[in-house]
Structure 1
Amino acid sequence: MPLSPELVAFLEKSRWPSTLTAGQMDRLRQDIYERAYPSGAIIFPRGSLADHWFGLIEGMIKVDTVSPDGRSTTFAGVPGGAWFGEGAVLKNEPRPYSIVAIRDSKLAFVPRTTFEWLLAESTSFSRFVIDQLNWRCGYYVALIENRRLREAPARVAFCLSELFNPQLYPSTEPTLRLSQEEIGRLSGLSRQNTNRALRELADAKMLAVEYGSVVILDLPRLREFARQDE
């Protein structure tokens, strides 16, 4: 089946496909496919088999888990243009988290057999995956530090600025279609504390709060503020 124009454009904008040989690209085009999910859909529940690597063609998803007592913890938000899920695929184990669409989203699926074949056949693809893992590890270390040591405004600044990580999320637009409740979940804060933090960041002209979205006005300052005590 021919690839959709959206998937073709997504692959062209991604860094790694252009480094593949013609034969490797033919295999990718043959095996990759896409699916659409409405906002709120559970794309994969916790414990599902990690048999695909994902690309988020458009939309936004969150990676989260729910404790036995019903408390939800969001580990990361993933904006459109990103590739993710390589860790669980490499370990070949059930996913320790859920993947949930927080906007209408369209995903590209690369089967694990194709992913592993590309790792074995393409040095450049292997380098890309190593870089992904390295940056993602750094993100989670910073996330733990941020949630344990930072005040609410810095925590919100961190979660928003990390959506513009140049390696993991290279295509993020300045307008983030996230509600204050969603930002609170990404930051590990109550809605009330999130609201106060956003007002402080808006007063400092780092961002503007609009209905159902946040517009990033000064990303370098937002990043600096998130790490001001380091």
Structure 2
Amino acid sequence: MLKVSTLHPDGKEAILAVLEAGNWFGAPSVIDGLPHAHDISASDDSELLFVAHASFHELMRRNSFALSFARLQSMQARAVFSMLEDATLRSIRARVARRIKRLMHSDVTMSAPERLVIPITHDTLAMMLGVTRQTLAGELKYLVAQGAIALGYGRINVVSVERLEAVERDC
């Protein structure tokens, strides 16, 4: 698993996304030639495939690759706008429920099959949501009481997708 993050000058880290096997990152820099805007770090052993600038542009000349790449970028843009919407319009409780739902399918591309066990620490989830660990703990406790999730060491177990969606909708 890879963590996409940024570090504020005061030392506070914000985790923007977690990327799982099969995800693509770094495309903006290959396209516009500017430096990477965020840090990427591996939380466990990872294998990366590097595509050189010239190779990428050669692949983009193939319609099938370019179309697939455009779809991927579109999914990522939708995810970013969804997170912006969450941050500006939704309660913390609804944001927690929505992010857990998103993590059920892999955070950014939503392409992975649904899973009910999400390997994530409370610290990581709190940094993804821009809340303190204490605030997150209260919201997770509420979701447990609602029968939506159960908590385990380094993971969240989704007990009821329907109850998770109800919290997301009603808060």
Does TM, normalized by the shorter one, top 0.5? yes
Q: Any idea what SS the aligned residue of 1:170 has?
A: coil
Contact 1:176-1:213 within 8 A present in 2 as well: yes
Report whether the alignment pairs 1:150 with 2:150: no
One of 21, 24, 32 as aligned partner of 1:91: 32
Match of 1:128 in 2: 68
Say whether the 8 Å CA contact 1:88–1:95 is kept in structure 2: yes
* Structure 2: gaps of 5 or more residues: none
* Residues 176, 215 of structure 1: 8 Å contact kept: yes
- The amino acid of 1:186's aligned partner reads M
Q: Which residue of 2 aligns with 1:194?
A: 136
Specify every segment of 5 or more residues in structure 1 that has no aligned partner in the other structure, as ranges. 1-59
When residues 142 and 169 of structure 1 are mapped into structure 2, their CA distance, relative to the original with a 3 A threshold, is closer
Identity of counterpart residues, as a percentage? 26
After TM superposition, list the pairs within 5 Å mapping 1:10-159 onto structure 2: 60-120=1-61, 122-159=62-99
Structure 1 residue matching 2:47: 3-state secondary structure: strand
Residue aligned with 2:50, SS: strand
Residue-pair matches, total: 169
Runs of 4+ in 1 over 6 A off after TM superposition: none
1:165: Cα distance to partner?
A: 5.6
Match of residue 176 from structure 1: 118
**Is 1:78–1:169's contact at 8 Å kept on the other side of the alignment?**
no
- Tell me the C-alpha RMSD between the 2 structures: 2.5
Partners of 2:37 and 2:97 lie apart in 1 by: 26
Normalised TM-score (structure 2): 0.84
**8 Å CA contact retained: 1:136, 1:168:** yes
Q: Kindly provide the amino acid, as one letter, of the partner of residue 83 in structure 1.
A: W
**Is residue 2:150 matched to residue 1:208?**
yes
Please state whether the residue corresponding to 2:135 is helix, strand or coil.
Answer: helix
Please report how far the alpha carbon of residue 176 of structure 1 lies from its aligned counterpart in structure 2 after TM superposition. Answer: 1.8
1:178 deviates by 0.9
1:154-165 map, 5 Å? 154-163=94-103, 164=105
